[in-house]
Structure 1
């Protein structure tokens, strides 16, 4: 499934989950073989034609940019838009005309034509709920991390790490599946004691 999605951050998240699994369930030479398979698998996945095509440089009206440079411009546009409603944001139903206008000004053709979201969860929250919403979200994540560490809940910590990784390049809470999955997993795992976690 990750191959068809071709989202690089999902491969990194899968690697983190795989490391969690192997360090908690494997020992000896089997552990060493499993660790060696991680970079081999990632290298093979990235060198398939599907992945290579998916990650060709992005086009603007002026130039062809590598993904990192394109994302910098993209996030810069989002920051500029957040400044317009800094404290409380636009609300979940607020328009994003100014963001799309900034995309257009920066010649980010695909972002403008396809009405891109922020492609970063924290920035997405900043657009909708401003600085106040960002602070509340970060406090909630801190509460989850503290709870996971206090109760030695490794699975909850792994789930938080995976969602944090996805949040770097994806706005995962703009879809019902992201909201429901995060809410369900964290709610269930926060109630579990260490000896009950499978």
Structure 2
């Protein structure tokens, strides 16, 4: 009787893990309000697993604590934040940073493996579908018939795109993650992998977000070098040069890349993406120095940066509620130099553990996010927090990846 009951529980657990993994893998296609429910579903799966296996599963509290140095520092910063309401609202966004690693620790090795496999394949396919939908949407908006330019279409992709409501920079990060997962652990059929890769890379370039594009190609080259896959590396270089060359025939994309080389579009220019970032970085650094490197607390960062921009003459930018557009500077503004160092220590703790294990995939995933952080305050939005937590914890807490990647050596 007990054996039959255990068998039924195992079957139920397998089905539940597959269903939750599929739902979480659809993250990129879910509307903004539904995305947090992926965390809720995953936590429920983990709690059921913990109850089922009782004391047989040990939670890795050390890794969870180190992973949440940033969350702890943000919570402590509330003591010197003036706007506590906004501070608690922002702190609420960071809950997935705590819940997702705990949930991963509650899962059995078999459940983690099943979850990872389904999640990865679903996420890749969902991202490919998103890319296809973008081109269909561009066609409907009249881009290919020259009725509207890309800048006009980007605003519709952000606010009107089938109710998903996602900023192109975050979509680009999703596509980059899907591309990395495809290189790390793609489908068995090579032709399918090639088709999916081209769909994703086309979507990545049509959105023309420089930060994710540069970050992806740096770490993808590194991944193939570490794996000693020279043929794949050469193919990637050819594809990159080919797609990049074709994209340069599109004026908007060409101008977005060439603006980096034009000092008039970078220095004190509030009309280009590169120029805006330069202004925000400079003002953020000035504020960090004024705070004696202690930060202003997560509740006050937005208002402090807004006032600084206004005082320096950037009135329009001050009204747009911009963040620092650099996660490291954002941390410096919110939790100060000490908090920033604690975040880096936790980040490098996991990075060095991957290096020690010769886990090339874990290395490039962490390096990818470290590069994205240079161009975007990625953890300021809950969408960024959730996907960052899922992807990084998948490598930190999953024995499936540890086992497979040890086989590389």
TM-score range, shorter chain: 0.7 to 0.9
Would you say 1:78 and 2:284 are equivalent positions? yes
After superposition, what is the alpha-carbon deviation per residue over 1:100-156, rounded to whole angstroms, capped at 9, x for unaligned?
222123333442121210011100011110111111111111112101101111111
Partner of 1:149 in structure 2? 355
Given candidates 185, 195, 198, the residue that maps to 2:403 is 195
From the CA coordinates, give the structure whose radius of gyration is larger.
Answer: 2
TM-score by length of structure 1 reads 0.80
Matched, 1:121 2:121: no
Give ranges in structure 2 of 5+ residues lacking alignment: 1-202, 260-264
Corresponding residue for residue 143 of structure 2: none
Matched position secondary structure for 1:96 = helix
Alpha-carbon offset, residue 74 of structure 1: 2.3
2:221 is the alignment partner of 1:19: yes
Which SS does the other structure have where 2:352 is aligned? helix
CA–CA distance in structure 1, aligned partners of residues 358 and 373 of structure 2: 24
Q: CA deviation at 1:71?
A: 3.3
Q: Please say if residues 166 and 172 of structure 1, whose CA atoms lie closer than 8 Å, have aligned partners that are also in contact.
A: yes
Counterpart-to-counterpart distance in 2, 1:47 and 1:140: 43
Change (3 A) 1:170 1:58: same
Matches of 1:27 and 1:54, distance apart in 2: 31
Taking only aligned residues, the RMSD between alpha carbons, in angstroms, comes to 3.0
**Which moves more between the two structures, 81-90 or 116-125?**
81-90
Using a 3 Å threshold, how does the CA distance of structure 1 residues 141 and 21 change in structure 2: closer, same or farther? closer
Per the normalisation by structure 2, the TM-score is 0.42
Kept in 1: contact 2:223–2:360 (CA 8 A): no
* Count of residue pairs brought into register by the alignment: 195
2:6 alignment counterpart:
none
Mind listing any 5+ residue stretches in structure 1 that lack a counterpart? none
* Most deviating of 39-48 and 146-155: 39-48
Q: 142, 156, 181: which is aligned to 2:387?
A: 181
Preserved CA contact (<8 Å) 2:295 2:333: yes
Within the candidate set 242, 263, 277, 1:40 is matched to 242
